[in-house]
């Protein structure tokens, strides 16, 4: 213990000094903090048992018997990036309609029966792929599977339900505009991805949802929900042959065209290619807002890129944990926010990195300048002592924690299933993370954290934001912040809550 603690403590000058001071002040013996060596033993990921049903549907079975519950996730290899231009939100609406009456049951009967079985069926649409998740008490798996297969194979798509679903969707799009962090995402994605099919939100825009009809919804359903376009991930206490039988009974007659990816989703280049920058500032007005949402986009990596393991670790250091650089600075040092973080979105064809925080309105300038300072610092590519170990330990622990729950377990395999990769592809990913060295993190950081290439989205009171930007331009720093090196802000552009330019966008900066 003693040796371990010393070794770790040596890494922290601050701690060593403080212990010494405590010793002087109290005249007591030194307290030793019992820090164990960081465990690096590889975490073993179970290999799913895979088989194919007669309909062509692929099944990945993972055993779990710690609770008498079954979790299944039908991965559909189509996402919102497959929505035709002008019909943004189509696939998400098609998914919403699937449980509005199916097989012999009306929408209400279906909802009643699902609940009665202690089951839940959830739909979600992502950019690359979608999923339909079933959770049910093990003893009710059979009847729940009947309902699940009705929903997948025999949805009714009735006019009456469509009228209601559309009305509710349009209202929830209105409500989306009330939530400033969601607005920042919708606007940011739209500006960052531009003409790329990743640009629009999964639930579409008011104008496009308005123009979608039930026939189009049915077509989108038929194109996506085909056995060759889906993989069923399932975990529970099953004997594989018996499960296979249960599934065959329900899915034998499932037919559909062979799956094809739309060209654009496969081949679309990154919107910015390999070009640099330029730094862009986008502002969305939320009059009288108590906080300003700052959301910064940088170029990321596609899912299969070999740089993702190193970038994941680097980003864990940047904004991926409580003691990350961003949170330590903006929350614990500057105390202008409840939290600041960053995350990676690594998708089929491209990815991005987002750093974000809601800062109190009065500290908008300081918030922006501190994000830039942290980006500049990270972009220098110099790790601090202990950072890599912390990031690696954190990632390892999160993986073990994922194995704790059925949903976490399935989550490890869902992208592999969606992108048609080997079921065990994550093993290599986690092995690469465990093996990553400081050099690889430093190299990827220099390439990634380039503030001059950033898109900065600000959602808050426009008057407050304009003033903050003026202050930064005039002084090259924010009050209470350090000066920024070679820092120049472009004129801001103004957008509405769905990312369309505001008429007055050229006003204040000219």
Partner 1 sequence: MPEHHKSNRLAGAALAALIVALPGSFAAAQKIAFERYTLDNGLTVILHEDHRLPRVAVNLWYYVGSKDEPKGRSGFAHLFEHLMFMGTKNVPIGQFDNIMEGAGGSNNATTSSDRTNYFESGPGELLELFLFLEADRMTGLSRAMTLEKLNTQRGVVRNERRQSYENRPYGQLWLEVPALIYPAGHPYHHPVIGSHTDLDNAAVSDVIDFFDGFYFPANASLAIAGDFDPEKARTLVKKYFGAIPLRAKITRKKPPAPTIEGVVRKTLTDAVELPLACFVWHSPAFYSEGDADMDIVASALARGKSSRLYRRLVYDKKLAQDVSAYQSSSLLGSKFIIQVFALPGADTKENLERLGAIEREVDAVIAELREGGVTAREIGRARNSTESAFWSDLESLEEKADLLNRYLFHFGNPGAVERDLGRYSKVTADSTSSWTKKVLKPNGRLILHVLPEEKKGGKQ
- Is 248 a residue that touches partner 1 (CB under 8 A)? no
For residue 224 the two structure tokens come to: 């996506």
Q: How many residues bind partner 1 (CB under 8 A)?
A: 86
- Is 434 a residue that touches partner 1 (CB under 8 A)? no
The owner of tokens 């080997």 is 422
> Closest distance between partner 1 and the C-beta of residue 84, in Å?
25
Residues 497 and 325: their CA atoms lie apart, in Å, by 30
Residues 269-298 that bind partner 1 (CB under 8 A): 285-291
- Measure the CA dihedral 52/53/55/56, to 10°: -10
> Closest distance between partner 1 and the C-beta of residue 125, in Å?
19
For partner 1, the binding residue among 135, 199, 369, 414 (CB under 8 A) is: 135
- Is 172 a residue that touches partner 1 (CB under 8 A)? yes
> Closest distance between partner 1 and the C-beta of residue 255, in Å?
29
What CA–CA distances, in Å, run from 14 to 3, 17, 370, 386?
A: 19, 5, 23, 13
- Is 480 a residue that touches partner 1 (CB under 8 A)? no
Residues 352 and 334: their CA atoms lie apart, in Å, by 27
Residues 55 and 231: their CA atoms lie apart, in Å, by 12
Q: Going by C-beta distance under 8 Å and a sequence separation of 6 or more, which residues neighbour residue 20?
A: none
For residue 162 the two structure tokens come to: 């469509």
| Mask for 36-65, x = binds partner 1 (CB under 8 A) | x-xx--------------------------
- Is 8 a residue that touches partner 1 (CB under 8 A)? yes
- Phi-psi label, residue 218: left if phi above 0, alpha if psi -120 to 50, beta otherwise: alpha
- Phi-psi label, residue 422: left if phi above 0, alpha if psi -120 to 50, beta otherwise: beta
- Is 336 a residue that touches partner 1 (CB under 8 A)? yes
Contacts 24+ apart (CB under 8 A), 158-163: 158/100, 158/101, 159/214, 161/97, 161/100, 161/101, 161/107, 162/97, 162/100, 162/214, 162/217
Residue closer to partner 1 (CB basis): 269 or 322: 322
For partner 1, the binding residue among 120, 277, 278, 483 (CB under 8 A) is: 120
What CA–CA distances, in Å, run from 89 to 239, 321, 478, 509?
A: 39, 33, 40, 35
Residue closer to partner 1 (CB basis): 224 or 363: 363
Quick one: which segment of 9-17, 75-83, 222-230, 346-354 binds partner 1 (CB under 8 A)? 9-17
| Mask for 296-335, x = binds partner 1 (CB under 8 A) | -------------------------xxx----x--xxx-x
> How many other CB atoms are found less than 10 A from the CB of residue 393?
15
For partner 1, the binding residue among 104, 277, 278, 339 (CB under 8 A) is: 339
For partner 1, the binding residue among 53, 137, 421, 432 (CB under 8 A) is: 137
- Is 496 a residue that touches partner 1 (CB under 8 A)? yes
Q: Which of 71, 111, 119 lies closest to 232 in space, CA to CA? A: 71
For partner 1, the binding residue among 393, 424, 475, 505 (CB under 8 A) is: 393
For partner 1, the binding residue among 26, 194, 278, 483 (CB under 8 A) is: 26
| Length of the chain measured in residues | 510
- Is 140 a residue that touches partner 1 (CB under 8 A)? yes
CB 420 within 8 Å of CB 243? no
Quick one: which segment of 184-192, 268-276, 299-307, 356-364 binds partner 1 (CB under 8 A)? 356-364
> Closest distance between partner 1 and the C-beta of residue 177, in Å?
7
| Mask for 358-387, x = binds partner 1 (CB under 8 A) | xxx-------------------------x-
Residue closer to partner 1 (CB basis): 359 or 433: 359
């Amino acid at each position: 213990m003693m040796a371990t603690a010393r070794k770790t403590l040596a890494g922290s000058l601050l701690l060593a000094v403080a212990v010494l001071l405590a010793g002087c002040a109290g005249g007591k013996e030194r307290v030793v903090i019992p820090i164990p060596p960081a465990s690096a033993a590889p975490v073993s990921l179970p290999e799913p048992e895979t088989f194919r049903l007669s309909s062509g549907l692929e099944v990945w079975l993972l055993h779990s018997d710690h609770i008498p519950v079954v979790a299944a996730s039908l991965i559909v290899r189509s996402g919102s990036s497959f929505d035709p231009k002008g019909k943004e939100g189509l696939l998400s609406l098609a998914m919403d309609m699937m449980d509005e009456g199916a097989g012999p049951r009306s929408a209400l009967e279906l909802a009643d029966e699902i609940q009665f079985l202690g089951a839940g069926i959830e739909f979600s649409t992502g950019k690359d792929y979608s999923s339909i998740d079933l959770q049910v008490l093990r003893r009710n798996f059979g009847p729940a599977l009947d309902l699940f297969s009705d929903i997948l194979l025999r949805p009714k798509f009735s006019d009456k339900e469509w009228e209601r679903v559309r009305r509710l969707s349009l209202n929830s799009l209105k409500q989306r505009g009330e939530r400033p962090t969601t607005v920042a995402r919708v606007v940011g994605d739209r500006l960052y991805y531009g003409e790329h099919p990743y640009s629009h939100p999964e639930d579409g825009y008011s104008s496009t949802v308005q123009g979608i009809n039930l026939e189009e919804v049915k077509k989108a359903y038929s194109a996506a929900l085909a056995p060759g376009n889906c993989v069923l991930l399932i975990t529970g206490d099953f004997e594989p042959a018996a499960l296979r039988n249960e599934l065959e009974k329900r899915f034998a007659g499932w037919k559909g065209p062979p799956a094809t990816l739309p060209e654009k989703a496969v081949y679309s280049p990154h919107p910015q290619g390999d070009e640099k920058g330029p730094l862009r500032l986008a502002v969305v007005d939320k009059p009288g807002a108590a906080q300003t949402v700052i959301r910064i986009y940088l170029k990321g990596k596609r899912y299969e890129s070999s740089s993702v393991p190193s970038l994941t670790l680097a980003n864990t250091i940047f904004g991926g944990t409580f003691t990350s650089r961003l949170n330590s600075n903006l929350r614990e040092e500057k105390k202008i926010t409840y939290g600041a973080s960053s995350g990676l979105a690594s998708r089929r064809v491209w990815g991005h990195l987002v750093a974000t925080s809601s800062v109190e309105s009065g500290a908008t300038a300081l918030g922006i300048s501190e994000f830039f300072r942290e980006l500049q610092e990270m972009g220098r590519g110099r790790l601090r002592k202990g950072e890599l170990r912390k990031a690696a330990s954190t990632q390892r622990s999160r993986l073990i924690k994922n194995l704790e729950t059925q949903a976490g377990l399935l989550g490890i395999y869902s992208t592999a299933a969606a992108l048609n990769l080997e079921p065990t592809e994550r093993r290599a990913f986690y092995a690469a993370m465990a093996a990553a060295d400081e050099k690889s993190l430093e190299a990827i950081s220099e390439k990634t954290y380039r503030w001059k290439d950033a898109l900065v989205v600000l959602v808050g009171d426009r008057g407050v934001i304009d003033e903050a930007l003026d202050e930064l331009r005039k002084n090259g720093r924010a009050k209470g912040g350090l000066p920024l090196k070679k820092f120049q802000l472009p004129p801001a552009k103004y957008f509405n809550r769905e990312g369309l330019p505001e008429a007055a966008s050229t006003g204040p900066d000219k």
